[in-house]
Structure 1
Amino acid sequence: MGVGVQSHYFSVGSVVTWGRAGVGVVATQSFADPSYGPLGLELMAAGRSAKQALEALVKADVRPEVRQVAMVDSHGVAAVHTGAECTPYAGHILGDGFSVQANLMDNDTIWGAMRDAYVDNENLELPERILAALEAAEAAGGDIRGKQSAALLVVDSKLTANAWSGRLIELRVEDHTEPLVELKRLLRLRRAYDWADRGDEYMAAGRHQESSEAFKRAFELAPELVELRYWWALGLYRSGRRAEAIHELREVCAKEPRWKKLLRLLVNAGRLEPQFYDEVFPQG
């Protein structure tokens, strides 16, 4: 389950995006009342559907006419409310398991463009589908005030043992001239570090070949990050591909000498064979 947003508003994700693994997600917009987030999640956690939770909160609101709120529960039921006094252009489309909504827009085609992009990109994973919908909104005219910040939150649809393990993706662009471009870059880095985390897990389990492949995937996703190439090289070494490892490490350390110092520290800490440093840097 996920929620994404772009707006001409500083740190929009701190207000709009809410979610809890195994419970649901909430987007609270327009003259946003942030309480819709935690209260909506509590109601859904107590067994109410997204529709029931939203109806209860709208009924209790003293100014529902200026609110725009959408919810999706863990059963895939979506609900949305756009108050009659939300600043135009404002509207929404409720789909099968999703909602797209917008306010303060340049024109009234934007939520339709979002719906089309979301539906047409069903082959993508959820974070990328949400981004596609946001990009379609911007291409159709977007926020009449411009753009400033964006956010993306994805949580597991199933309950998890720990609250933090159920937050699969949580990215915010607080202030940027191109929020969606930056959000897309951050998502790419998140994917890269997910592979790096797998590499660490494989390495700890002694599965060195799989560790090397995971770090390689990470580096391919984010080749600008020297660190990922470094850990890939160490994975190559541990999987027996010493010549390749030495070549990659020399390349990395030539670009950023700090990694050469770390290699010495890893050897001194017993994490690598003592002779390995001398193999990589025979001249010291």
Structure 2
Amino acid sequence: MTFSLVARCAETGMFGMAISSSSPAVAARCAFARAGVGAVSSQNITDPTLGPLALDLMESGASASEAIAEVQARGKFIEYRQVLAVDAQGETAIHSGPNSLGIWTQAQGRDVASGGNLLANDGICQAIVTGFETATGHLGDRLIAAMRAGLAAGGEAGPIHSAGLLMVDKHSWPVAELRCDWTEDCPIEAIATAWEVYQPQLEAYVQRALDPREAPSYGVPGDE
């Protein structure tokens, strides 16, 4: 019911992930990232505890592959889960349990990993990885390009209804957390539109958190 990617920007060290599903509010259950540590997707009959577990392990010094191996050892009903991870060195690792749903597959490269289940075909995840690797620009642009590539390659076996994009940078909070929790239209395009609006304002929101005295004006009625 899901396809996703986790990724690291080799230039900036930012981490991000993007995900889409036929289920509602997929990002609320599946999307995890921590600044300076990595990004994780926990999906397919989802156990949301596996995302923080993998991030805790990587924050303690484990590589992505070591973290995923420990998730496999500790996770309950792990044969039903898919878990993707990327770490601070750009290493990636994936667990896809044999009870993953429908056509399921995975693909990975340096700084990017993709996994999916109930897919239209077994080429979706490689299309997502290639889409990320060939895209340029901000990490958010590359995540959107990758998800569009997966959708163009066939996407899920049925219609998708929710999507999310999550990114972290140098601070403890996400610099972007964009979600479309349900739509009858394309949720990936809904997220892409939200990113187009948000990207030019991203740094201003970070500055407002750090020191509002140096921040741009708020641009709302009554603001001078």
After TM superposition, the score normalised by the length of structure 1 is 0.67
Question: What displacement does 1:54 show?
Answer: 0.8
Answer whether contact 2:124 2:150 (CA < 8 A) is retained: yes
Structure 1 residue 4 corresponds to structure 2 residue 18: yes
**Which residue of 174, 194, 200 maps to 1:186?**
194
- Which position in structure 1 is the counterpart of 2:4? none
Question: What displacement does 1:6 show?
Answer: 0.8
Post-superposition Cα deviations, 1:87-112, rounded to whole Å, max 9, x if no partner, equal: 12111112012101111111112112
SS in 2 for 1:170: strand
- Which position in structure 1 is the counterpart of 2:58? 44
Relative to structure 1, the CA distance from residue 202 to residue 41 in structure 2 (aligned partners, 3 Å threshold; closer, same or farther) is closer
Relative to structure 1, the CA distance from residue 198 to residue 95 in structure 2 (aligned partners, 3 Å threshold; closer, same or farther) is closer
- Which position in structure 2 is the counterpart of 1:112? 126
Pairs within 5 Å for 1:246-265: 259=221, 262=222
- Which position in structure 2 is the counterpart of 1:78? 92
Q: What is the letter of the counterpart of residue 146 of structure 1?
A: P
Q: What is the letter of the counterpart of residue 20 of structure 1?
A: R
Q: What is the letter of the counterpart of residue 4 of structure 1?
A: A
Answer whether contact 2:162 2:187 (CA < 8 A) is retained: yes
**Which residue of 79, 84, 100 maps to 1:65?**
79
Structure 2: segments with no counterpart, 5+ residues: 1-14
SS in 1 for 2:24: coil
Structure 1 residue 170 corresponds to structure 2 residue 177: yes
**Which residue of 29, 38, 53 maps to 2:67?**
53
Relative to structure 1, the CA distance from residue 43 to residue 202 in structure 2 (aligned partners, 3 Å threshold; closer, same or farther) is closer
Post-superposition Cα deviations, 1:202-233, rounded to whole Å, max 9, x if no partner, equal: 9945x9xxx6xxx8xxxxxxxxxxx85xx7xx
User: Distance between the aligned counterparts of 2:131 and 2:38, measured in 1?
Assistant: 22
Cα RMSD (Å)? 2.5
Post-superposition Cα deviations, 1:210-265, rounded to whole Å, max 9, x if no partner, equal: x6xxx8xxxxxxxxxxx85xx7xxxxxxxxxxxxxxxxxxxxxxxxxxx5xx4xxx
Post-superposition Cα deviations, 1:100-131, rounded to whole Å, max 9, x if no partner, equal: 1111111112112112211111x222111111
- Which position in structure 1 is the counterpart of 2:44? 30
User: Distance between the aligned counterparts of 1:24 and 1:197, measured in 2?
Assistant: 22
Structure 1 residue 90 corresponds to structure 2 residue 104: yes
Q: What is the letter of the counterpart of residue 186 of structure 1?
A: A
SS in 2 for 1:85: coil
